[in-house]
Amino acid sequence: MPIKNGVQLITYADRLGNGALSDLQSLLEHELAGVFTGIHLLPFFYPFDGEDAGFDPIDHTIVDQRLGNWDSIKMLGESFDIMADLIVNHMSAQSVAFKDVLEHGQDSQFWPLFLTKQSVFSDDDDAGIAKVFRPRPTPFFTEYTVANNGTVPFWTTFTANQIDIDVESQPGQHYLTSILDTFADNKVDLIRLDAAGYAIKRAGTNCFMLEETFAFIEQLSQRARDLNMQCLVEIHSHYQTQIEIAKRCDSVYDFALPPLVLHTLFSRDATALAAWLEISPRNCFTVLDTHDGIGIVDVGPSGDKPGLLNATEIDSLVETIHNNSNGQSRLATGAAASNVDLYQINCTFYNALGGDDEAYLLARAIQFFCPGIPQVYYAGLLAAENDMELLARTNVGRDINRPYLDIAAVKEHLQKPVVQGLLKLIELRNNTPAFSGDFSASYQQHRLVLTWLNEDSSAELVIELNSLQAVINVNSATQSQSFAINSLLE
């Protein structure tokens, strides 16, 4: 069944509404009725509140009973396209399988499921180990005492509680198949392959997005298609890598879009954005914000390959975000907060734009007019501010953009003019036939024009970069309208 070409919501089950899947269902049927065509449900597995907010599952095939059960997912799937995460690279150190390994060592049936240093490197291969690409500053080997007899260095690409899986082993293949089967049985339509770029390790390489990784992603995607599901590959990397991945899978994220939109609005220059839209994958999902930070690596250079932005432009982008957020993003990024990623700025997209309502709606309009299926993160939907209280409590940088918003808070945020304006943009994107047609972009004399044509329907976004004034024009057999973006705030 094809995925609907409409705006999707990205949300945690426990952070939007009153903390359960049934509450989320009620919210989507009442306060947000008719707004979204699909939902990316961030990890709802057991436990959803682990060390890495659900991305360290103890059991990937069980819905945490505090949220609901698989029937809750099926019920949502009756009305929405459902996306769920397949956490490819690792599982929790608290899992039954890893605990069995710690107790029985190589006698455990699960020993082949996990990667150790010796699985890939010889003991003296320091040069090879130094080549490994690091997404975080934490060690990628963690010593665990095994069978009360010495220690073993296990691969821990992300945190010491997230033990890397040998996805090429028979137990690894069986593990992934069990998750795919569970998803297929419970009305999951889309699978987001989380951390898939790190799944294959080879000595002498950087262990990230190898040719073998591409092949693995292709094979996993085909297994999902055989079960009537599609795969969305989640990779933060150089833009050329995204283009190559897109050729070999169902869909990818356009992670270059968020920093390029910010750069365009900050510099009032759409040269880089227009150049990207000439070559960007069309089989993509677009975002401005997610449960992670604002990616920078996606537009930067890699080795001798130039980026979509140069070093000076990236430095200016980062500093402008920090200034617009009154330094709050600086407190949540890099060495200032634990569990950090090296390539992301932690900040709400709304605060990255200085809380400017017009700029925020313009950014969303650009997103909705770019090729791909748009996704809106729950905090972005409600134009939420940086949650400095939560950040102070957890010292986890990404929590600045992971607020807990109960029904009362949702209702309050929905009254804000900027949120009402965003809902109107979502309605336009969902109900205009032109967005199922052909896309084109032009940029001349400080004017950026994004256009969609589909038989007798057209939609056009015209932005004057000098003044950041923008107009949307829509024409079809049944409607004709033209309005300025700032009129959505009236």
**CATH classification at residue 482:** 2.20.220
Average pLDDT over residues 354-365: 98
- Residue 338 to residue 398: CA distance in whole angstroms: 9
Range of the domain at 458: 438-489
Is 194 part of the annotated catalytic residue set?
Answer: yes
From the list 29, 35, 5, 6, the residue with the least C-alpha distance to 424 is 35
Which of 132, 163, 194 delimits the end of a domain? 163
Q: What DSSP assignment string belongs to 174-210?
A: HHHHHHHHHHHTTT--EEEEETGGGS---TTS-SSS-
Same domain, 152 and 190: no
Residue 443 lies in a domain: yes
Burial 55-79 (b: 16+ CB within 10 A, else e): bbbbbbbebbeebbebebbeebbee
Model confidence over 179-236: pLDDT tens digits? 999 999 999 999 999 999 999 999 999 999 999 999 999 999 999 999 999 999 998 8
Given 234, 254, 387, 399, the catalytic residue: 234
- Residue 261 to residue 269: CA distance in whole angstroms: 10
pLDDT category at 50 given cuts 50, 70, 90 is confident
Backbone angles phi, psi at 22, to 5 degrees: -65, -35
Model confidence over 380-404: pLDDT tens digits? 999 999 999 999 999 999 999 999 9
Same domain, 297 and 231: yes
Q: What domain count does the chain have?
A: 3
Q: How many residues does the chain have?
A: 490
Tokens of 67: 């949220």
Same domain, 174 and 280: yes
- Residue 116 to residue 160: CA distance in whole angstroms: 13
Same domain, 22 and 153: no
Given 194, 254, 341, 399, the catalytic residue: 194
Is 125 part of the annotated catalytic residue set?
Answer: no
Same domain, 65 and 213: yes
Residue 30 lies in a domain: yes
- Residue 381 to residue 424: CA distance in whole angstroms: 12
The pTM of this model reads 0.95
Same domain, 65 and 55: yes
Same domain, 400 and 459: no
Same domain, 61 and 103: no
Based on the number of CB atoms within 10 Å of its own CB, is 415 exposed (0-12), middle (13-18) or buried (19 or more)?
A: exposed
Distances, alpha carbon 262 to alpha carbons 27, 220, 273, 350, 354, in Å? 31, 34, 10, 11, 11
Same domain, 262 and 308: yes
